[in-house]
Structure 1
Amino acid sequence: MLKVYFTALTSYDGDFHFHYREIIRLLKKNGCQILSGTQIINQKLFNRDAKLKKTDIFKRETKLIQMADCVVAEVTKPSHGVGGEIVFALTQTKPVLGLIYNGNENKISPMLTGNPSDNLFLESYTVEQLPYKVRDFIKHINNLKKRKGKLIV
């Protein structure tokens, strides 16, 4: 089972909440174990996290990123936290899918869109395309996992 770290803007304003729920649902539908991210869509978990020390959250989340096979991030709304998680994941050579809601591509930071990492995959999406974008990324990661460690001559 593929271990996925999901991240998105955590300050709740509701704009993309449906998208976050849908991404998590699609990841589960594609057989993924969600290591983190459900607190973004679950107010009870979010409130529990708000009571934790910042250092404890940092330690927990960096450990979960290290445990993950990949990271999926909804990056349409800018966030320093999500940016930090993406950079940390890339330093750990984790593949990262950055999902950008269609029409918002020019609002994304050049620090993300200009990043030359071979492990960063930025994809624009519509709600209708989302199932295919998630499925294709998961298939790609599963294929990479199968090839890892095999010598191809």
Structure 2
Amino acid sequence: MKVYFGASVSLDRSMLPVYQEVVANLKKLGHTVMSENVIDPTMPVGGGLTPKELFVREAKLIEQAEVMVAEVTLPSWGTAFLMEHALSHGKKVLALFYKDASTPLPYMIEGHPDLYVAHYSKGNVRTVLKKNLEDFASMDRRKGKLIVIDGTDGSGKGTQTELLLKYLEQHKVKNKYIDFPRYYTSFHGQMVGRYLAGEFGNKESASPYLSSLFYAMDRLTARTKID
């Protein structure tokens, strides 16, 4: 993926070696870093550009990128603005915070609903980057909507499902239908069946927490079928 990397470099370059490690690992993972100038130790403040020229250049790079990785351990108004610019253009933003930092992660970053925040160290930076960027790529592949039809016995789930599937078919909308519990194709679905058959006790003695866990795990493990 095309990655825009942002970090605090104008006033404090004490973390430059860490930034270089992040960028090096992004490249080793096969990504294209569009802002390598950030890790250039000889780069003058502003890169020799006027403030307006710098603004235009960085904004365009973000708009061309697929995702932004921002190192937010050291506070930076510039990085904060670039993160918001990326979000406003529909880009996913991964905010990295160094575990050994002497200052805490700012609340405004930790609490931002649209940011993906990850804590990292020199030893696991590649793992953190790999996991999060793979998750981003997976999100981009998911184009559909998830519809859940739930209810007690006799509530009309089957009728609603039949009508919905018929509608989708008539309008030539591709769909994937999963019927829960998956009694025959899932371990947890089989456990639901055993629970309903009374193997773990009758309704009065069997643990309701156990049954809830079986039902929940049956749905959770269906994630790979939805992708």
TM-score, structure 1 as length reference = 0.85
Q: Which amino acid aligns with 1:98?
A: A
Report the secondary structure of 1:115's partner residue: coil
In structure 1, C-alpha distance between the alignment counterparts of 2:15 and 2:137, rounded to whole Å: 27
Q: Which amino acid aligns with 1:127?
A: K
Whether 1:93 and 2:90 are equivalent positions in the alignment is yes
User: Where in structure 2 are the equivalents of 1:130-141 lying within 5 Å?
Assistant: 130-141=125-136
Matched-pair contact (CA < 8 Å) for 1:4–1:32:
yes
TM-score, structure 2 as length reference = 0.59
Alpha-carbon offset, residue 12 of structure 1? 5.8
- The equivalent of 2:61 in structure 1 is 64
CA RMSD of aligned residues (A): 2.3
In structure 2, C-alpha distance between the alignment counterparts of 1:141 and 1:68, rounded to whole Å: 13
In structure 2, C-alpha distance between the alignment counterparts of 1:115 and 1:141, rounded to whole Å: 17
User: What CA deviation, in whole Å up to 9, does each residue of 1:97-135 have, x standing for no partner?
Assistant: 111011549623222111111xx1101111111110011
- The equivalent of 2:74 in structure 1 is 77
- The equivalent of 1:122 in structure 2 is 117
Matched-pair contact (CA < 8 Å) for 2:10–2:45:
no
Whether 1:20 and 2:19 are equivalent positions in the alignment is yes
In structure 2, C-alpha distance between the alignment counterparts of 1:40 and 1:7, rounded to whole Å: 7
User: What CA deviation, in whole Å up to 9, does each residue of 1:30-50 have, x standing for no partner?
Assistant: 1111111x2222134x22843
Flag the structure with higher strand content.
1
Matched-pair contact (CA < 8 Å) for 2:16–2:41:
no
In the alignment of these two chains, the number of paired residues is: 148
Structure 2: state its 5+ residue gaps. 146-172, 176-227
Structure 1: state its 5+ residue gaps. none
In structure 1, C-alpha distance between the alignment counterparts of 2:100 and 2:44, rounded to whole Å: 32
In structure 1, C-alpha distance between the alignment counterparts of 2:29 and 2:69, rounded to whole Å: 13
| Sequence identity percentage | 32
- The equivalent of 2:38 in structure 1 is 40
In structure 1, C-alpha distance between the alignment counterparts of 2:22 and 2:100, rounded to whole Å: 18
In structure 1, C-alpha distance between the alignment counterparts of 2:41 and 2:142, rounded to whole Å: 39
Report the secondary structure of 1:15's partner residue: coil
Structure having the higher Rg: 2
Q: Which amino acid aligns with 2:3?
A: V
Query: RCO (CA 8 Å, sep 6+): is it higher in 1 or 2?
Result: 1
